Structures are given as C-alpha cells and as structure tokens.
Amino acid sequence: MLSPDLETRLNEQMRSEFSSAHLYLQMAAHFETSGFPGFSAWMRAQADEERAHAMRFFDFILDRGGTAVLGAVEAPPAEFGSPLEVFEASLAHERTITTAIDGLYEGADRATSAFLDWFATEQVEEEATVSQIVESLKLAGQSGPALLIMDRDLGSRSTAPDPGA
Ligand SMILES: [Fe+2]
Ligand SMILES: [Fe+2]
C-alpha cells in the first residue's frame, strides 16, 4: 500500500508527465507551422515518450493498490520563438522534472524508489540529448543551411515504442 502522501505526490508527477506531453506536442505544432518538419517530428516523438512516462506512473499507482487521479493538464504557451529558444525551454523543463523526480525519493518506500530509479536514469539521458541539441543550435546560429541539416537529422529520430511502457 502506498502512503496517502506518496500516492498524492505520484499522482502529481503523473500529471506533470501528461503536461510535458502537452508542452512538447504544442512545440511540435509550432515547428510544423514554421518550416521545421524534422524538429516537429522529434517533438511529437518526445510527446509520445512523455505520455508513456505518465502511463508508467498510472500503472504503478494502480499496481500498488492506489487510486490514479487524472488532474488538469497545464496549458502550454501558445507561442514560441526560434528553434534555439524552444529547445532551451525544453531543457529548462527537463531540469525541473529531474528535480521533481529527485524529490519523490523523499519518504518513498523501497518499491517506489526502485520504480523511480528508471526515471532518474531516463532524466540523465533526456537532459544530455537536449543539451546537445541546444549546443548544435548555438553553433548553427542563423545559418539556414545548418538549420535545415539539423532539421533533417532530428527528423530521423527513431520512434520505437518505450519497451517498458
Ligand atoms: Fe518524462
Ligand atoms: Fe522528459
């Protein structure tokens, strides 16, 4: 059984993961309409991953005999800036999520800690991936050809489903 406090906090993280999916899908829409189909595809895949993260919490809460409560999903901003600004916003968002995951370990029982370990590792990978994209975008600067090459490269991201989901 989950403690009521832990159950509430796990539900809150599930909501955050759904909000992340919403944010990235909005970013995908932005890229789609601003001439970057590859960045858009990358963000769509990212949104799918976040939804899979939310489902991990959903299943874990239920498996532990808890009640999964789907709270309101945060509305993402409707407008975004340059590709660099969008990916910087994504990096800042991932850092916030990493801090939230770390915070969940406090007061977590052993099974919940083991469950959270997957997320702790996943956050390292997500932050590293997005940091690298941010650095590449900084190098690309205002160069149209460089941005188009990056758009093509990111568009080839594999969208294999999360094996653990
Ligand atoms: Fe996530
Ligand atoms: Fe994420």
Q: Helices in 78-143 by DSSP H: which ranges?
A: 83-104, 110-140
pLDDT in tens, the chain (165 residues): 899 999 999 999 999 999 999 999 999 999 999 999 999 999 999 999 999 999 999 999 999 999 999 999 999 998 999 999 999 999 999 999 999 999 999 999 999 999 999 999 999 999 999 999 999 999 999 999 999 999 999 999 766 555 554
Neighbours of ion ligand 2 (CB under 5 A): 126
Considering Cα of 88, then 28, then 155, then 145, what sign does the dihedral take? negative
Write the class of the CATH domain 4-73+80-155: mainly alpha
Q: Domain limits of the chain?
A: 4-73+80-155
Neighbours of ion ligand 1 (CB under 5 A): 17, 50, 53
Question: How far, in Å, from the CA of 128 to the mean position of ligand 2?
Answer: 11
Residue 77's region, left for phi above 0, alpha for psi from -120 to 50, else beta, is beta
pTM given for the model: 0.93
Q: How far apart are the first and last CA of the chain?
A: 22
